[in-house]
Structure 1
Amino acid sequence: METLTPAARRVLDAAAELFYGQGINAVGVDLIARHAGVTKKTLYERFGSKEALVAAYLRERDERWRVWLTAEVDKSPQQGPRDRILATFDALGLWMRRENPRGCGFVNAAAELPDADHPARRAISDQKRWLRDYLRELAEGAGVPDPGGLADELLLLHEGATVLYGLAAVPDPVATARRMALGALERAGA
């Protein structure tokens, strides 16, 4: 992400807090500007539109998640390939408790932004595509015969866990998804 001016940084931080906490459609630019301590003019000068600000919020959130996840998985280089895959679920559990109490910010945004042409929709699909590609890379490292198929299963488990976490529909959806991932790994021959 490009370097932001201090005012733009405040706007993006305020938008991130408000969009995730209250919902994208419930938050207007007046509230964001007030929360950031800037004028609406400054907000528009830095981001151009609310739509562009939403996309910037999601791109930055995606970058934080990518850095977090890969660092957590890479913490112990002695781990075997199967352990690295399971570590994605351990990292997800920590992320959910620290950063995602309302579930996945991307799934929440997708539910609020049905227009396929909204600039944020690309950030949402890029995030999910990246996660599937990363899981496929880990599956390839585990030497499974169908790394794409395993990546699809793992992605469904990740996404299902984040949605159910936000809904509090299952006592510990990430732990359940991790156990299911272990079964998927065994079936895949990892």
Structure 2
Amino acid sequence: MPPPLVLASSSPRRLMLLAQIGLTPDRVITPDVNEAARPGELPRPYAVRMARDKAAAIPCPGSLVLAADTVVAVGRRILPKAETMDDVRSCLRLVSGRRHRVLTAVALIATNGKRSERLSESTVTFNRLTEEQIERYAACGEGLGKAGGYAINGQVASLVRAMTGSFSGIVGLPLFETAQLLRAHGYRIP
């Protein structure tokens, strides 16, 4: 019997992505962590720290605890998780016509307490957006609560000119890296 798998996340997209590779966590627990970036913290270390902190916030001895964090970055700037339609508009204006990075870190705490992590880095390039496109997307509401103010697997896909890297990582859980971590700790992937 494999050890129980605990997903430290409140994201329905992460559950959907795990299901895509045949996995259903035994438990899903929302971690309670402060997600504020530290002064001067860069996107890459911030993503890894957040994934680690989320996994560490879930004490489940005897279980594998899996956590992830997605960061959208324009240069050295970390875009927020959009809480309002104004946040969505602001983020879309920043990425309009530009290439930006989507970093998703995955952290796993094994049954013996050993911690491992992986980082997926992808790039997304939006077409130059009109104010009408920005308004229409903000109004649909799907960018709320999302890093960078958009969901790549939703309506915004028609505005994306190019992407490289891991599509599942852009959505919120890089499946290749996640499967590697789980397999390294003896967890069988169907």
> What is the TM-score when the length of structure 1 is the normalising length?
0.30
User: Which of structures 1 and 2 has the larger relative contact order (alpha carbons within 8 angstroms, sep 6+)?
Assistant: 2
- The answer to which structure has the higher helix fraction is 1
- The answer to which structure has the higher strand fraction is 2
> What is the TM-score when the length of structure 2 is the normalising length?
0.30
Larger Rg: 1
